[in-house]
Structure 1
Amino acid sequence: MSEITRRTALRGAAGLLAVPALVERANAQSAFDWKRFKGERVEVSLVANPRSTLLFQYHKEFEELTGIRVGAEQIPEQQHRQKFAIEFASGRPSFDVINISLHVNKLQVGRAKWCTDLRPLIADASMTAPDLDMADFGPAAVTYATQADGRLDTLPLDVDHFILYVNKDLVAAKNVAVPQTFDELYTAAKALTDPSKQQYGFVGRGLRNANMTLWSSFLLGTQQRDMIDANRKLITDTPDAVWATQQYARLMRECAPPGANSFNWNECQTTFMQGRAAFWIDGVGYAAPLEDPKRSRVAGKLGYAVVPAGPAHRHSAFFCTGLGISEASQRRGPAWFYIQWVLNKQNQLRMLATGAGAPTRLSAYANEEGLKGSTFPREYFTTLAESIRIARPGLPEIGPVTEFRDTIGSALVNVLGGADATAELKKATDAFRPVLEASEKGA
């Protein structure tokens, strides 16, 4: 597969930015005023991750720009999903702005109409800053954030592409090449595994539910690629699904540290930061701590590559988050101003340059000057550009996605424990099929 260069990607993004530039000039004389809601307050509920941490650093900038005070919280992902669902269902949520994991909660939020349709606000020149530039957002991300009925009830914040992290020291010590296929990844990881030195060739998510996002990377490499078919039927017990499970399991069983069956991303990140693993497949948003010399033993020694290819395809699984306004909010104006500030070009560039995530605005990738000051190597940006080109959703767009991840994730845990992949996938698929069918019927 031909590698896309950063310069090529940036030239393409720059071309796409020509239309937004015209929009900016056309709206230059709009009636928009950042101080319109001066003295008011907005409550924001965010998932605890590097993107939110970055935003917290600059909240004072928003308050000075608008005169709006920010009350914000960061909550771990699983607890955050439970909290906002309970509060939305109560009819009196404590937040005005909510951070949604679209790959998990899009249909849930959309069907309940918990969030405001943003299209009227976007169309109102007195409420929307001229530089919002909807044409500057990647079309795939906007499509991902749009509900089936056309409502745009969130704006996409970031697209979390899965990539391959490489410990260059461990790889160089045995003259191992960066793997291009999953078979090569297994061979390399096996060669680099030495439990006597607490050194392992691979680390990845094994915890139930969390393991699904890694497993999907293997399935995307098969001819099947999808977890539901064109008729919205579950297909997670096919020969391709079994192959994906076996590839995932042999890496985790034979090349990962003890206890990896219970690892989520944070345990994987810690292991990799300690220099105890040669390869790690996970989201781009976890890169920043790895490059921090005060926290990481592998800082400055990292390699980045696209996820290896399977027998039929090479895809980077992506997962998208968005920001929405509670339909029950009495402060929609301040909430909308906050979302616009979060998604401005400067903040999106900050996200990219600091390694906090992959922004959805194309202008970030075209900002050569802004990226010059980044501490990340060029390989990081070329890997991200290539991952964007081969990106494909890492989870099916269904309502009961958490239950789906739990059910199939339990099967994966059992396989990691030694159970037969074919039998476990069939059992899990049979168990979840009626759940999906009921959801599709609106039950």
Structure 2
Amino acid sequence: MKTTLRAVMGATALCAISGTAFAQDTVTLTIATVNNGDMIRMQGLSDEFTASHPGIELEWVTLEENVLRQRVTTDVATSGGKHDVQYDVVTVGTYEVPIWGKQGWLVSLNDLPAEYDVDDLLPAIRNGLTVDGELFAAPFYGESSMVMYRTDLIEQAGLEMPDAPTWEFIRQAAEAMTDKEGEVYGICLRGKAGWGENMAFLSAMANSYGARWFDENWQPQFDGEAWKNALTDYLDLMNNFGPPGASSNGFNENLALFQQGKCGMWIDATVAASFVTNGAESKVADQVGFALAPDMGLGKRGNWLWAWSLGIPSGSQKVDAAKEFIAWATSKEYTALIAEKEGWANVPPGTRKSLYENPEYQKVPFAQMTLESIQAADPTNPTVDPVPYTGVQFVAIPEFQGIGTLVGQQFSAALAGQISAEQALQNAQQLTTREMTRAGYID
């Protein structure tokens, strides 16, 4: 889907010098972004930027998450930072930024103005966007994952959600809250194939079961007990207590189900909290509680760490204007603008220390749980046993984007009933071994 928002400009500014009129140059920035609520809000407020930045117009390309990743990656990788690119500003994640920054595919943002206050960024988020002291993207919002649940349904079930639940309790609660005749499903989880869709959730869940993608010698680990237990429990939850057609459901589909009152629990991105508690969008806005992502008592929770950020491909010919836009969209002033227009609960979360020190934001019911979840995720030590990689819900190597999607397709097929859990794990082991051998990580 392509949406074009043109700044509302007056007649072209003319200035007379020695009796000659010169038209002011206009720069059009093409911005590629994901079709989630916070980005849609940003587009809706883009006139605020163009009004204060005459001469800059914005053209938006808004895409579904998997499609965005594919197109932006192709565009940036093909140019290699040396040629003109299709997009001037790209929405990129914590996975891409360090890899692309190291390869010279993104412009350094170390020269953002002092008032931007880069030191105000949460260390966990800033570090994930930094390579050798260079900031290569500015975080629009940061997130971890947590349990969002219906307080009315869990009360009716005679249960009380702990602040830090176990997977065993999650299964008990899912069973107790399921009413398939009433179209209420105890739990909604991602099933749509993709390294950043179902595998974001399943990788984080597997971490809490003691699983890992690779051992210290880069050997794939899908043939181990920990992955078997994690995938089996996931399929058990979804097949018994999840909604129909779950293998097609990603973030946006599950968000819609929860807002419609059809999910007892949803374990997903902390950023969703503002949308499930927004009375204009959610039928259950006043009946939502929050808890940390579940664990198995092994010292790791099933929560991830992520930031959707704005970066500039090195091939862009409009770097100065792009930096102006990024500095605006990820600033404290933008946060204040959202708070003024839509309330503190709807500001982009998870990026700045000052936000969580703000007494007004501290009143938001999910603010503290979001911060705790972000701080609990450790991308440098993501698993119970040692690993040679960083990243919680991803492995920070260039090959992971392809490998993660291949594995995600196998697990989505298992959820759809097309293959067994055993076959999915066997296929995942073979596919990952093949790709890692081709890439030279293993013999």
Q: TM-score range by the shorter chain?
A: 0.7 to 0.9
CA distance in 1, matches of 2:175, 2:309: 38
1:220 aligned residue: 207
2:168 to 170, 175, 183: 183
CA-to-aligned-CA distance 1:77-97 (integer Å, 9 cap, x gap):
222222223333253323221
1:164 aligned residue: 147
1:247 aligned residue: 233
Any residues of structure 2 matched to 1:53-92 within 5 Å, and which? Answer: 53-73=40-60, 74-88=62-76, 89=78, 91-92=83-84
1:145 aligns with 2:129: yes
The 1:292/1:138 distance shift into structure 2, 3 A limit, reads closer
Q: Secondary structure at the match of 1:45?
A: strand
CA distance in 1, matches of 2:32, 2:73: 12
Pick the structure with more helix per residue.
1
Asked whether the 8 Å contact 2:186–2:263 carries over to 1, the reply is: yes
Residue 107 of structure 1: CA displacement? 6.0
Residue 323 of structure 1: CA displacement? 1.6
Asked whether the 8 Å contact 2:56–2:321 carries over to 1, the reply is: no
The 1:79/1:240 distance shift into structure 2, 3 A limit, reads same
Q: Structure 2: any 5+ residue segments left out of the alignment?
A: 1-23, 379-391
Asked whether the 8 Å contact 1:161–1:358 carries over to 2, the reply is: no
1:7 aligned residue: none
CA distance in 1, matches of 2:400, 2:430: 16
CA distance in 1, matches of 2:137, 2:200: 22
Q: Which amino acid aligns with 1:95?
A: Y
Q: Scaled by the length of structure 1, what TM-score is found?
A: 0.80
1:173 aligns with 2:156: yes
Asked whether the 8 Å contact 1:68–1:334 carries over to 2, the reply is: no
Q: Scaled by the length of structure 2, what TM-score is found?
A: 0.80
The 1:153/1:69 distance shift into structure 2, 3 A limit, reads same
Any residues of structure 2 matched to 1:20-419 within 5 Å, and which? Answer: 40-73=27-60, 74-88=62-76, 89=78, 91-103=83-95, 105-106=96-97, 109-110=100-101, 112-119=103-110, 122=111, 128-147=112-131, 151-178=134-161, 180-209=165-194, 210-224=197-211, 226-315=212-301, 316-348=303-335, 350=338, 353-355=344-346, 357-369=348-360, 376=364, 378=365, 380-392=366-378, 393-416=392-415, 417=417, 419=419
CA-to-aligned-CA distance 1:63-119 (integer Å, 9 cap, x gap):
23333423131222222222223333253323221111232x346634652211333
The 1:48/1:389 distance shift into structure 2, 3 A limit, reads same
Residue 399 of structure 1: CA displacement? 1.1
Higher relative contact order (CA 8 A, sep 6+): 1
Q: Which amino acid aligns with 2:318?
A: R
Asked whether the 8 Å contact 1:107–1:398 carries over to 2, the reply is: no
CA distance in 1, matches of 2:287, 2:119: 37
Q: Which amino acid aligns with 1:165?
A: M
CA distance in 1, matches of 2:103, 2:433: 23
CA distance in 2, matches of 1:348, 1:313: 35
Asked whether the 8 Å contact 2:146–2:270 carries over to 1, the reply is: yes
Q: Which amino acid aligns with 1:144?
A: G
Asked whether the 8 Å contact 1:286–1:355 carries over to 2, the reply is: no
Residue 165 of structure 1: CA displacement? 0.7
Q: Structure 1: any 5+ residue segments left out of the alignment?
A: 1-36, 123-127
Residue 166 of structure 1: CA displacement? 0.6
CA-to-aligned-CA distance 1:117-172 (integer Å, 9 cap, x gap):
333xx2xxxxx32222222112222221134x665322333222111111112112
Asked whether the 8 Å contact 1:118–1:153 carries over to 2, the reply is: yes
CA-to-aligned-CA distance 1:283-314 (integer Å, 9 cap, x gap):
12223332232332101111111111223124
Q: Secondary structure at the match of 1:310?
A: coil
The 1:359/1:39 distance shift into structure 2, 3 A limit, reads farther
Residue 441 of structure 1: CA displacement? 6.0
Sequence identity, in percent?
A: 24
Q: Secondary structure at the match of 1:158?
A: strand
Q: CA RMSD in A?
A: 2.6
Q: Secondary structure at the match of 1:317?
A: coil
CA distance in 1, matches of 2:73, 2:210: 36
